[in-house]
Structure 1
Amino acid sequence: MPLIRFLAVLPLILSLSIEAYGQFNNYRKYDYKWAAAFPKPVALNSKFEGAPLVILNEENFFKVSGVKSGFMKIYVESKQHIKYTNAEGVLSGARFDLPSSFDPILDRSDVPRGSADTAQRPKLFDVKVLFFAARIKKRNGTVVNADIDDEVVLDDRSYQLKSHRAYAHSLRFGGSRLENNNTYTYVFQIQNLEPGDELEVHYKYEIPYAQNWYLFNSNRVFYNGVYPKQAYSFTFNFNKKVGTTFLYNNGANPDKRFQEKENVTYIFKAENLPGCLDEINARPHLELPYFVYNLNPMDARFYYTSPYNMEEAPLPFWIYLLRLREQYTEYEQRRADPLIKDKQWKKVQSFMIVTTAGIPNANIFTRLNTLHNKIVDDFKYQKDGAFFAGKDKKLERLGDYTENETLREISRFKLYVKLLNHLNIPYNTMYFMDKRVAQMGLNFISSVVDNEYAFAVPRVNQQYYLYPKQSRCGYYGNELPFYWENTPALYIEFYSLWADKIAGLNFIKTHASNASENIRVCNIKADVDLNQQTLDCEAKVSLSGQFSTMTRNLYVFNYMDSTLNPLYGRKINYAFQPQDNDTLTPYSKSAVYPFKTNFRMNYSSADRMVRNDSRYQLSLDDLFPHIVENELDEAYRELRYYPDFQSQDLIKYFFVFSDSVKLLNKDELDVAISNSFGAYTITADQLNSTTIMIASEFRVTSEFVEANKIGDVVDINAAIRKLNQGVLVVQKGRVGLH
């Protein structure tokens, strides 16, 4: 029987494979002819001499063809003239990934930091490359064809769908289930480049609007890239009936605007753009020029009938999309009996009654917070990939899973809607934007298709956030990671979203934390046996504020936010157990700001000491895991440096020796630095004949550091790195103290 089923679907599989193969390989059949001679020599701007490659000229063309959404296509074309100055440029800049990205920061924002996947890919479906051509001018002046290796790579979309998977069926167009679609990247690798060569490349690809309609709203186009550009242009062409709108940021204004019949053209130009879009801990959206465009095609979805004059009027894209996202909430709010007592509801109700037993009914907010904390601390989390792939066709069973203390991906928000409605608590929603990537406002909303959001419960003079977790661990009430703190978020009042009168945009700045609240204190007693040359450590770790938010789950669940600096993934015992997978239960914790959490742990080592007669060297390698940026480049910096958050981080080791010792290298260890970034001190003291303390205190006091002061960050990072590569030198014997 299985064989019969397989034979039945075999023709379909083959047809799809043939169609895909043809789609992906049509560009190879294109007979490309160069229309002109190789570009004339261009003098290299002296300010870019240290760059591994320089884009001498880049011309981009973005053409919107058609006016009705079902038939629209977008054509992206690029011509580039590139100079490769050294081997590093050849190694890093000989690869081209299509579709290309005009907003690589946003397109790569959900890729784990340090991922081997280097492509910064827009989230686009069914892209077709029409042609890709390249030729090389060698150092001796001869022009040769580029030797191009090409492949089509299937993207793993699982990390890119995130929060909108739960309603992706609503984004379908023409029967296409977008949550099941695959996207592909065309990779072109130039093989015969050498330092000193110049490359001319010309490519074009097609994007169908219908499959990607929800991704062409509030899109950013940055002028700058990773590498310097001496000349840059971007030509944007569309039919005036599409109703395209533009917003400009940081000086990005069109150089020309003109119209020929129905076609409208905007041309943006710039010169001598530094390559800085990938600078560590920069926020390019606050400093670099970019424009934002919105495509508004002729589509009934983007219009509504005004109840005031019964005429059609445009419906803002964000309202249309947010109505899709919150359609379940609307259903629950508007149905005649929102608390139908079916079997599944009764199980949810039972969970609420048991969890809040003993809390007076009048204390509604306390009951809500208790339910939320229960979900955060005790509920397992189930990803629903099988459901979205159509393999799990069972019902949602919200009550069954709640009874089993499991939060399903498809039920993240639904469960909270049930809880809030049952408690009769008014609520709205708050859509966040990672401030490392962008800043929401009237000039940039984002596509809102994939922004995470929380329920916002109005309290006295503030909003109280409840964020449904999306992993085993979550955030307590009113707890936000640093990248959602102190930044505008889109505030949606539920009834305004569904009202006949279209609401305006409303942004609320989320709360901020400071250095006096973001604190980590680690006190470690290390018993040192001079005879056995062993260390036995007992550590007390206290986390507060963002240190608790961002690192407590590392100890409890071995979980770390993959977008963070990898050093967030180091526990205090990292130097002794780099692959420590043990989990700890905090001996005290608080679910109230600043969420203080405390741990105790023990660890040991038998290979950190070297003896030379009566002298001992104790390795300090990685004993002080402060979170720094070790790859920061002082030589080239164009943008401000933004630390993750202002903080105090104190790590103290009390080395208690089995015999009397004398500290010999205090002067080498002691450090005191204070600058525009913060302050760093190392204090090495002999407390008594057998005890030596080394205290490493790192304070981040600045919101940002100017580019010309990046050396201040580098200096502190270097001092921390030096300590973590240093040694403690002592001499055994009863000797006088300092």
Structure 2
Amino acid sequence: MTGLLGQDTRVIHKNYDWGKDDAWNPIWSTAVDRTEILDDELSIRLKNTKPQFLALFFERKQVIRFANQEDILAFGRFTLPESLDPPYDGREIPWAEKGAPVRPLWFNVRLDHFVARIIRPDGTWGEVGAFIQVDQNMVRTFQTMERAWTYVLDLQAIAPGDVVEVRWKYMVPYDVNANHTRGWRGFQWMDNWARSTSWRIFFHDELPILHQQVSLRYHVKHGLSFRTSTFYALKEDGDVTTVTWENHDLPGCMNEVNARPGADLPHVDVTLAPEDLRYWRRDRVSGLPFQQPYWLYVLRRREERAIWWQRVGMKNLPDRQNELFNEFVERTTIGIPEEATAQKMETLHNYIAEHFAYKNDSLWYQEVDLKLARIGDQVSDERIREISRYDLYSKMVHGVNAGYSTAYLMDERIGIMDDGWMTPMWDSDFLIGVKDDQQVLWMHPKRGPVGLWANELPFYWQGTSALLMTSELLVADIPSPPLFLELPEAMPGMDVRVLETDLQVATGTGNSRARSRVLLSGQFSTLGRSDYLLGAMDPQVDPRYGAVLDGALLKGDGAWQMRSNASVAPYRFQAMRDAAFNGSVLIEGNDVRSLDLSSCIGHAAPEGFLATDRDLPFYWDFTQTDRSIIELHFDHPVEFLNLSDLNATFKTPSADLVRTVTSDAPDHLRVESLLQVHELREEVKDAAALQPLIAAALAKDLVLKFPPPPPPPPPRIAAQPCSPPPPPPPPRSCSHPRQRLLQIRDQQFRILQTDV
């Protein structure tokens, strides 16, 4: 990409003409104990009609009342360009970083001005300065890594209660590389032409908005079309059209936990199709030029080697790479009938998913690793490269004499793909579909440490609308409307997880030993088994779907041992592990001991859910049956103090949770927590019932209390060995004759008794 045009920070120091209009509106005088946007005006203008000069100008004015210092820190920072579609722009943010700022990552943005002032009810005002920095984000495009620059501005000297007016304007060029993008390799010069074809505008924000006006101005030659479910005003001035939306009292709900704004909030879907030469194509019969839709241009570029791989598969004298590839196919599918093409593809795909190593090719995108893909070497080395995911499967399908279709995907948590909003499509993930009798065998080329089995889809793709591309569309002269299909869903009742933990507790030392067993089925296996196998999982989902018991087991002590891993639905997976328990008996006083068991409960419930001021429905990820069982065995009898307090039962229209804590012996305790989700959607009116259910699912209150063990008995003193009795004293001699005779008689009597 040429020139980095978005780094000039001097504009924040330039003088700005605020105009002569009144700064204060009397309706703002009624203060409330919350931070809110009092007035919001957004103007989007498309200027110039030729693609090489086309630019999008975003200009905004916001009046914000800050209620407290915490909100000043959170909302006194502005990132430009701003995100008008947070669900889509934040699609690559890992689950663990969901609070990170969402950025649209436009290229070559030019900041025209950013100013702020504190306004007062008496009409006076004072300007506010801002600290500025420019962040650099690397964006992976179709074939390169490009830089996107983001301005980060922090307001200075803001205090609680201040009403601040902020204004900014920036320009997003359509194509600053126009001179380099006219040839057949023009698609390699990625710019905003590849990111502005299909986008959305959301009206809501994280803060409540009392009044808002959004306007969109464009020329007829821009080829802009929009779709919206809200009322708008339309003004036409020759070839220029201005569309205006006005809203009042919008709640601040864009960041609500497990909400789906794309499904429940009003927004505008925008499609931009200027007269760009890259989209023009000639009819092969008449030679007449016509403009193809952008999505067809993108998919033809992404699948441009499909016909080539078909021809390569028919070569009679294959080269070395083809020989290696054909050997891999024959070796893997040996014994499968020639006509069973779907079975062959399933076998090949499952082998790749289980054994191949995935390489993300970051060096290739940075133009450091310039080596060719060499698919034959890849299959021989059992690895799959990011740049070869489509090519490898296209070559495999033709290698087994089967046809295929490609389905381009959309995460249902972001929105639904249709002809009104399809996204730019350059980075959309895809599936390869092969006909299997009356059905379709869907395969996702491996894109992580552990691959998906054939026909295995994560919940955010199941049942969603996908854009279908076939070999006929790739070569058709007259473009047809986009073809969508609904991906299959799993059978009900397949999504089951059982976590069992057997704890041997030594109350004296406070140490415990754990034996854990897991059974995963359906989505729990799809999302979580990679964490048990390799310690890594899909970063876009809740980590509690993974090896959640790792938090209960001492790190480095033992490893998960796989017992089974099925490649057919419901993809059952079993594993077990023996390790020291990562917790101990704590002393809470002279008379109470405690043991925290929350780490042994693995329900995937979100943190931070609050029923207060909830405005959007809550969505579970999928219907499920999730059971956690803890068996505790103590080294001597224990009197449990709070068993009844640990029992819990909560229910909503879509889910229920039951936790039971029972003891059938003084040295044994059983804890069982069962979460069942029957429907995905929880309505706003049920939020009050949902909050305690989620809190019980997180089980932070699951702390067992019992008295200390009785003191050990005092040590016994060992008895000394007995000494023999002293010998009888010698007979005393008597001088008297009679006494002497008596002594002799007694001696004789004893002798006689002994003889008898």
What is the TM-score of this pair, normalised by structure 1? 0.88
**1:590 matches 2:566:** yes
**1:27 matches 2:11:** yes
1:95 maps to which residue? 77
**Once the 2 structures are TM-superposed, how far is the Cα of residue 21 of structure 1 from its aligned partner?**
8.4
CA distance in 2, matches of 1:583, 1:70: 58
1:708 maps to which residue? 685
Is the contact between residue 180 and residue 389 of structure 1 (CA under 8 Å) also seen in structure 2?
yes
Write the mapping of 1:627-646 to structure 2, written as runs, cut at 5 A: 627-646=604-623
Residue type of the partner of 1:326?
Answer: E
**1:107 matches 2:89:** yes
CA distance in 2, matches of 1:416, 1:56: 54
CA distance in 2, matches of 1:215, 1:224: 22
2:409 maps to which residue? 432
CA distance in 1, matches of 2:316, 2:676: 52
Is the contact between residue 515 and residue 700 of structure 1 (CA under 8 Å) also seen in structure 2?
no
Check 1:151–1:306 CA distance in 2 against 1; reply closer, same or farther (3 A cut): same
State which of 105, 108, 132 in structure 2 corresponds to 1:123.
105
Write the mapping of 1:651-666 to structure 2, written as runs, cut at 5 A: 651-661=628-638, 663-666=640-643
State which of 295, 301, 321 in structure 2 corresponds to 1:324.
301
Check 1:613–1:202 CA distance in 2 against 1; reply closer, same or farther (3 A cut): closer
State which of 189, 194, 197 in structure 2 corresponds to 1:217.
197
**Once the 2 structures are TM-superposed, how far is the Cα of residue 74 of structure 1 from its aligned partner?**
1.3
Write the mapping of 1:72-471 to structure 2, written as runs, cut at 5 A: 72-115=54-97, 118-137=100-119, 142-157=124-139, 161=140, 165=141, 168-169=142-143, 179-210=144-175, 211-248=191-228, 251-255=229-233, 257-306=234-283, 311-333=288-310, 337=314, 341-471=318-448
1:602 maps to which residue? 578
CA distance in 2, matches of 1:725, 1:271: 44
Secondary structure, aligned partner of 2:551: coil
**1:64 matches 2:46:** yes
Secondary structure, aligned partner of 2:607: coil
CA distance in 2, matches of 1:689, 1:115: 45
State which of 492, 495, 498 in structure 1 corresponds to 2:472.
495
1:9 maps to which residue? none
Moved more, 145-154 or 455-464: 455-464
CA distance in 2, matches of 1:74, 1:419: 43
Check 1:610–1:275 CA distance in 2 against 1; reply closer, same or farther (3 A cut): closer
Deviations 1:9-38 (A, max 9, x none): xxxxxxx9xx75895235246432112345
**Once the 2 structures are TM-superposed, how far is the Cα of residue 652 of structure 1 from its aligned partner?**
0.8
Check 1:153–1:521 CA distance in 2 against 1; reply closer, same or farther (3 A cut): same
Secondary structure, aligned partner of 2:578: strand
Deviations 1:502-554 (A, max 9, x none): 22222222222366111101122222334444321111100001111111111
Is the contact between residue 138 and residue 145 of structure 2 (CA under 8 Å) also seen in structure 1?
no
- Structure index of larger Rg: 2
**Once the 2 structures are TM-superposed, how far is the Cα of residue 561 of structure 1 from its aligned partner?**
1.9
Is the contact between residue 26 and residue 130 of structure 1 (CA under 8 Å) also seen in structure 2?
no
State which of 544, 548, 551 in structure 2 corresponds to 1:574.
551
Residue type of the partner of 1:446?
Answer: T
**Once the 2 structures are TM-superposed, how far is the Cα of residue 323 of structure 1 from its aligned partner?**
0.7
2:488 maps to which residue? 511
Moved more, 712-721 or 116-125: 116-125
Check 1:570–1:145 CA distance in 2 against 1; reply closer, same or farther (3 A cut): farther
Is the contact between residue 677 and residue 712 of structure 1 (CA under 8 Å) also seen in structure 2?
no
2:36 maps to which residue? 54
Moved more, 137-146 or 446-455: 137-146
1:648 maps to which residue? 625
Residue type of the partner of 1:703?
Answer: L
CA distance in 1, matches of 2:302, 2:444: 15
Secondary structure, aligned partner of 1:24: coil
Check 1:260–1:431 CA distance in 2 against 1; reply closer, same or farther (3 A cut): same
**Once the 2 structures are TM-superposed, how far is the Cα of residue 557 of structure 1 from its aligned partner?**
1.0
What is the count of residue pairs matched by the alignment?
A: 694
CA distance in 2, matches of 1:44, 1:138: 10
Secondary structure, aligned partner of 1:370: helix
**Once the 2 structures are TM-superposed, how far is the Cα of residue 460 of structure 1 from its aligned partner?**
4.1
Is the contact between residue 614 and residue 732 of structure 1 (CA under 8 Å) also seen in structure 2?
no
Check 1:606–1:96 CA distance in 2 against 1; reply closer, same or farther (3 A cut): closer
1:697 maps to which residue? 674
**Once the 2 structures are TM-superposed, how far is the Cα of residue 115 of structure 1 from its aligned partner?**
2.5
Check 1:540–1:334 CA distance in 2 against 1; reply closer, same or farther (3 A cut): same
Is the contact between residue 105 and residue 150 of structure 2 (CA under 8 Å) also seen in structure 1?
no
State which of 486, 491, 503 in structure 1 corresponds to 2:463.
486
Check 1:142–1:482 CA distance in 2 against 1; reply closer, same or farther (3 A cut): same
Is the contact between residue 554 and residue 571 of structure 1 (CA under 8 Å) also seen in structure 2?
no
Unaligned runs of 5+ in 2: 176-190, 711-756
Is the contact between residue 669 and residue 723 of structure 1 (CA under 8 Å) also seen in structure 2?
no
2:738 maps to which residue? none
Deviations 1:446-488 (A, max 9, x none): 2212110010122344332111111221111111111111221
CA distance in 2, matches of 1:22, 1:103: 21
Secondary structure, aligned partner of 1:230: strand
Check 1:152–1:582 CA distance in 2 against 1; reply closer, same or farther (3 A cut): farther
Deviations 1:556-595 (A, max 9, x none): 1111222223434552231233x56975342111011111
**Once the 2 structures are TM-superposed, how far is the Cα of residue 121 of structure 1 from its aligned partner?**
1.2
**1:543 matches 2:482:** no
Secondary structure, aligned partner of 2:600: coil
Check 1:668–1:29 CA distance in 2 against 1; reply closer, same or farther (3 A cut): closer
Residue type of the partner of 2:230?
Answer: A
**Once the 2 structures are TM-superposed, how far is the Cα of residue 201 of structure 1 from its aligned partner?**
1.4
Secondary structure, aligned partner of 2:307: helix
Is the contact between residue 135 and residue 199 of structure 1 (CA under 8 Å) also seen in structure 2?
yes
Deviations 1:115-171 (A, max 9, x none): 2883321131111111111111258864211121011111133xxx3xxx4xx24xx
Note the aligned Cα RMSD (angstroms).
Answer: 2.7
**Once the 2 structures are TM-superposed, how far is the Cα of residue 667 of structure 1 from its aligned partner?**
1.5
Unaligned runs of 5+ in 1: 1-15, 170-178, 734-738
CA distance in 2, matches of 1:715, 1:394: 56
Is the contact between residue 271 and residue 421 of structure 2 (CA under 8 Å) also seen in structure 1?
no
Is the contact between residue 663 and residue 692 of structure 1 (CA under 8 Å) also seen in structure 2?
no
